[in-house]
Amino acid sequence: MKLRALGLLLAAAPAFGDATTPDFDTPKPKAETNPLKPVLQVALRGAPSLVGGDIVADARPKFGAAFGFDAGVRLMRHIYGGISLDIMSFTTIDTLSGAQDNILGFGLGPMVGWYMRPETLSAVLQIGAGGRFFAVSNQQGRADSFGSFEGRAMLGLTFPIGPLRIIVPRLDFVGGGAGNLAHAVLMLGLSVGYDHDFGKRSRD
The 3-class secondary structure across the chain, one letter per residue, is: CHHHHHHHHHHHHHHHHCCCCCCCCCCCCCCCCCCCCCEEEEEEEEEEEEEECCCCHHHCCEEEEEEEEEEEEEECCCEEEEEEEEEEEEEEECCCCCCEEEEEEEEEEEEEEEECCCCCCEEEEEEEEEEEEEEEECCCCCEEEEEEEEEEEEEEEEEEECCEEEEEEEEEEEEECCHHHCEEEEEEEEEEEEEEECCHHHHC
Query: Looking at the domain assignment, is residue 19 inside a domain?
Result: no
Range of the domain at 184: 34-203
* Domain count within the chain: 1
Closest CA to 114 of 74, 66, 141, 164: 74
**pLDDT on residue 123:** 98
Q: Tell me whether residue 3 is in a domain.
A: no
Q: Is residue 6 one of the residues assigned to a domain? A: no
* Res 131: pLDDT: 93
Domain annotation covers residue 137: yes
Is 87 a member of any domain? yes
Question: Which CATH number covers residue 62?
Answer: 2.40.160.20
Distance, in Å, from the CA atom of 185 to the CA atom of 66, rounded to the nearest integer, reads 10
Per-residue confidence (pLDDT) for residue 48, from 0 to 100: 96
State the pLDDT at residue 136.
Answer: 85
In a domain, 46, yes or no: yes
pLDDT at 178: 75
23 falls within a domain: no
- Residue 127: the pLDDT is 98
What does pTM read for this prediction?
Answer: 0.77
pLDDT at 26: 60
pLDDT at 190: 97
User: pLDDT truncated to tens, each residue of the chain (204 aa)?
Assistant: 555 555 555 555 554 444 455 555 566 655 556 788 999 999 999 999 999 887 766 667 789 999 999 999 999 999 999 999 999 998 887 766 677 888 899 999 999 999 999 999 999 999 999 999 989 888 777 788 888 899 999 999 999 999 999 999 999 999 998 766 788 999 999 999 999 998 775 444
Residue 160 lies in a domain: yes
Distance CA 82, CA 8 (A): 74
pLDDT of 15: 47
